[in-house]
Amino acid sequence: MFKTRLRDFLFTKDDWLFAVSDYFRKDGIRATLRYVPDENGERELNGKRYKKYDFGPAFEFMKQNRPEWVQDVHVVPESEVKKVLRPSDCIPELVNSDSRVRAIVKVLDMAEIPRTSMGVTGSMLAGLQNESSDVDFVVYGPMWFRARDAIAVAKQQEGPIEELDEDMWQRIYRKRIPEISFDEFMLHESRKGNRGMVEGTYFDLLFVREWDQIKEPLLRGKDTVKMKIEAEVKNADFAFDSPSYYKVEHDEIDHVLSYTHTYAGQALPGEIIEARGVVEEFGDMKRLVVGTSREPKGEWIRSLTWLEKCGYI
């Protein structure tokens, strides 16, 4: 059995490339199609051209070519997997070949973060990056928070690590199309510290659980009604995970989950949040799920505590 976790990549026997989208598997490896060989593709790997598929077109392609693999994500049979690409495995090569990755790694080295806790995913992991590719930098487990703090310090110093400019923030906001205003979006983002620029390239510091943090699968329940709640966040250890995971104090709702990256790290323990999403019933437990579609309408998470502290409300 292949050992996989979130943000690994899979090469199938058809040379299709999938990004692993879950820590757990059922009937196969849960993933999302990203690249397919195509003679007219804009990327190249080992002399073969590839086409990149965004979320919607990827599902259309899979429905036409492997409909039996299509569920809420794409479920790849293990028998079809030729190779697993792990983000941590490509660090040595990228440190030697890419100055942007080298600059990030240097900052994390100084913070005494083991290189085995670092990785790069996305097009760089697949070897299909181009000049416009972002750097999707992974840090595993609790070391992520130390890495985030080290990056924040580096942004304040002279060097290749910088804060995002206004144009880049606008680009991210337009891409996400959140249900909160740009000003409110920026107030929340201002304290997260998981985004930056390196030598003019955008990078994201992505959280992935360490193996010992992967306990039990997040089983799906039954979607019921939409609801808006106010609740106190009791635990946010996995607020930057995918999905983001907040344990809350509320009469009905046990957890708030976000499947959209916009609301990762949106609130801290002890803060009061306002959240609107779909109530999911699982046994005796109820969760509020935000991000039930790619561009969720009428769904959000706001830290009322933080917005009040900033004088926004």
Over residues 104-141, the pLDDT tens digits come to 999 999 999 999 999 999 999 999 998 788 999 999 99
Topology agreement, domain 90-208 and domain 222-310 = no
Q: Is the pLDDT of residue 282 over 90?
A: no
Q: What is the mean pLDDT of residues 205-233?
A: 92
Q: In what order do the strands lie in the sheet with 135-140?
A: 118-121, 135-140, 201-208, 195-198, 161-162
Q: What is the mean pLDDT of residues 60-65?
A: 97
Q: How far is CA 158 from CA 112, 162, 168, in A?
A: 20, 9, 20
- The reported pTM is 0.93
Q: Is the pLDDT of residue 308 over 90?
A: yes
Domain ranges of the chain: 8-85, 90-208, 222-310
- CATH classification number, 90-208, choose in 1.10.10, 3.40.50, 3.30.1490, 3.30.460: 3.30.460
| DSSP symbol at 176 | H
Peptide linkage before 243 cis (omega within 30 of 0): yes
Q: What is the mean pLDDT of residues 54-81?
A: 95
Q: Is the pLDDT of residue 193 over 80?
A: yes
Q: What is the mean pLDDT of residues 188-192?
A: 95
Q: What is the mean pLDDT of residues 209-229?
A: 90
Q: How far apart are CA 54 and CA 60, in angstroms?
A: 10
Give 295's pLDDT tier (boundaries 50, 70, 90): low
Q: How far apart are CA 145 and CA 229, in angstroms?
A: 28
> For residue 304, what are its two tokens?
């009322």
Q: What is the pairing mode between strands 161-162 and 29-37?
A: unpaired
Q: Is the pLDDT of residue 196 over 80?
A: yes
pLDDT of 163-174, one tens digit each? 999 999 999 999
Q: How far is CA 157 from CA 3, 161, 163, in A?
A: 39, 8, 11
- CATH classification number, 222-310, choose in 1.10.3720.10, 3.50.50.60, 1.10.275.10, 2.40.50.140: 2.40.50.140
Q: How far apart are CA 184 and CA 187, in angstroms?
A: 5
pLDDT at 207: 98
